[in-house]
Structure 1
């Protein structure tokens, strides 16, 4: 066999081993991604102030609000009861950043909006798919979001019920490893 062919085969085997090793590391990290979950920035509060950092100047995803409870529609009006009983008022918000990605979401100038599943559905009951929006062992249910595409600054709100708030830019999915060849 020609020396050039042997060198190419050796290089190919080395690259194959690197690829298999990278694949194994990637598979090991899949569990970290699935287990990734945010922590509450504020817990059991009726008002609060949060800082929006917006380090890249492209706007932040904002905040998601949860309440303790279950998905219940006792009066069968098509709206989840926790939305009927909980209101969130934005007192102060940063300026909105007009970035390419922010045009894909809701256009509500950073105000609070009810959202269980998809934009525009607000708190409409959907007993099959809304059940996926529990958080932390089915004890917290999604209420809505605020400050979508906000730039850097302070965000303040008040609520008539206790809420739990997650900064959507703070999802912790653990360390990731990438091999670049």
Structure 2
């Protein structure tokens, strides 16, 4: 059975993007970049990885899940951002833009879709955002991999959208601090 991993950059105060949806304060360069890429390779858009000379081979994931807002960050320039992965975008009302070859746009219950994906053969499934989708899938998330960045947003898109749900327990499997100030905190469901 495949695992669902929520792998995402997050501020110290728990936001995956600032009040205007910005995420440009997250550090992409520093001593954390190479070790994190070695562990979670293939988690950059294909064109950006190619431009940086990073191989997308050997990724722990073969499928990426996104809500519409996360997907739309790359529009119009990257309508198929993760061409090296199976791409699934959850949306209720948006149509596929031109050039979105290889992207599946789904208007179904994300929990049902994830359960089907977990039953398939393959590598891990990566939830790359956003906070609303993460909240819906909270009980299906097997692992958390949080690139905690040394910034405060104060407001914005939370790691998990608030809601009325039971607390879930996770246990840390690794916490790796870097000189850049980024800490990779990894957890598995308890």
TM-score, structure 2 normalization: 0.26
Q: Which has the larger radius of gyration?
A: 1
TM-score, structure 1 normalization: 0.26
Taking CA–CA contacts closer than 8 Å with sequence separation of 6 or more, which of the two structures ends up with the larger relative contact order?
1
